[in-house]
Amino acid sequence: MSKIRTVPLGLVAGALALALSSPALALDKISFATNWVAEAEHGGFYQAAADGTYEEYGLDVTIVAGGPQKNNRILLLAGKVDFYMAGNMLVPLNAEANDIPVIELAAIFQKDPQVFLVHPDQGIENFEDLAKLPTIFMGVDGFASFFQWMKQAYPGFSDAQYKPYHFDPRVFIVDEQSAMQGYVTSEPLAIELASGIKPKEFMLADAGFDTPSTLIEATADYVAANPDIVQRFIDASIIGWYNYLYNDPSLGNAAIKVENPEMSDQQIAFSLAKMKDAGIVDSGVALDKGIGCFDDAAQKSFYDKMVQAGAVPPGVDLAKAYTNKFVCNGVGMDLK
């Protein structure tokens, strides 16, 4: 018969007292820069910060909000922040082509939320019909990227349709025979509130512009030196997104409004509902492998399209532009 070892109660009490008196383990301090002002489209990150998820993963995370006069990506390249929220794969592909040492670590959005809005009752029933309009308002970056792809993929689009968009929807509101670039999660509500017009929506993602969006980016050197921190930050961010989408988002919303007091409850609710309804975050490969997973086939498809459109040079090594090493492992799926 085996003997049961007993420990004197005095030793147990001493060990417990030592544990209670020891300082808590220090959190790893990291910074994450976004590419726009705080909004529901960043909700999972703010949720993870506000509800303690980052702290549970041993992280003290500072979110550095972007904005119209900020270029937070420069902060990443200068080593001033540890992670950056990239828009979609266009810039990373061009970065790889120019030997800029960044890598995409997670694809929070399976779909790019870019959309074209049109007035109702103008005979525009599908994406191809946009080519019938004399005017399409879009930003300079959009004209240089996705519009070049549109001309390749859908005959009928021409440079003559392009008019610069300076993010003021009034130009679209007064021109019934126009389309306007926007985010499906934002501009439709802004237009309806400003004019009473409920615009039709045509998402580029649904028309074949198959890039993921809201990417977590870091420099290759940082990833190589800190793989454990990278994994913890990505896992905690993904959990934040599941909680924000499927559980109580109130803490994340409150944090967004502290950072951006101009953000209304109505806009936040609209954006959150749109992200769910359109499958912006949780669709495609994310349904089986979890939020954050890159779809390898879609990545190759998007790259080929952008090369054909002249928006990305040929010869880019996709394996260096992004990785699934830290994602596709089902983290947080039980929270749905």
- Assigned domain for 321 exists: yes
Q: Are residues 57 and 175 in the same domain?
A: no
Do residue 235 and residue 315 come from a single domain? yes
**Phi and psi at residue 213, in whole multiples of 5°?**
-145, 170
Tokens (6 digits) for 312: 């990305």
Q: Are residues 75 and 172 in the same domain?
A: no
**Domain end among 177, 207, 237:** 207
Only one residue has tokens 């040929």, namely 314
Residue 325 domain flag: yes
**CB distance 319 to 279 below 8 Å:** no
Alpha-carbon span 123 to 28, nearest angstrom:
56
Residue 14 included in any domain = no
Over the stretch 5-61, which tens digit does the pLDDT of each residue have? 333 333 333 433 433 334 457 999 999 999 999 999 999 999 999 999 999 999 999
Element (H, E) at 260: none
Structural domains of the chain, count: 2
Are residues 326 and 238 located together in one domain of the fold? Answer: yes
pLDDT score, position 69: 84
In a domain, 19, yes or no: no
* 271 is a domain residue: yes
315 in a structural domain: yes
**In contact, 205 and 279? CB cutoff 8 Å:** no
Q: Are residues 221 and 91 in the same domain?
A: yes
Domain annotation covers residue 34 = yes
Assess whether 228 and 320 both reside in one domain. Answer: yes
In a domain, 97, yes or no: yes
Structural domain that includes position 221: 28-111+211-335
pLDDT beneath 70, residues of the chain: 1-24
Same domain, 39 and 102: yes
Of 207, 224, 241, which residue sits at a domain end?
207
The domain boundary, picked from 207, 230, 250, lies at 207
pLDDT reported for residue 167: 85
Shared-domain flag, residues 53 and 181: no
In sequence order, what are the beta bridge partners of 164? 138
Write down the residue that tokens 């509902």 correspond to: 273
The pLDDT of residue 24: 57
If DSSP states are collapsed to H, E and C, what string results for 176-241? CCEEEEEECCCHHHHHHHHHCCCCEEEECHHHCCCCCEEEEEEEHHHHHHCHHHHHHHHHHHHHHH
Give Cβ neighbours of residue 90 (< 8 Å, ≥ 6 apart): 145, 211, 306, 311, 312
Which CATH number is 222's domain given?
A: 3.40.190.10
Sequential DSSP letters for 298-326: HHHHHHHHHHHHTSS-TT--HHHHB--TT
**pTM of the predicted model, to two decimals?**
0.91
Give pLDDT, residue 15: 39
Do 35 and 89 fall within a single domain? yes
Do 173 and 298 reside in the same domain of the chain?
A: no
Are residue 223 and residue 315 in the same domain, yes or no? yes
User: Is residue 167 domain-shared with residue 220, that is, in the same domain?
Assistant: no
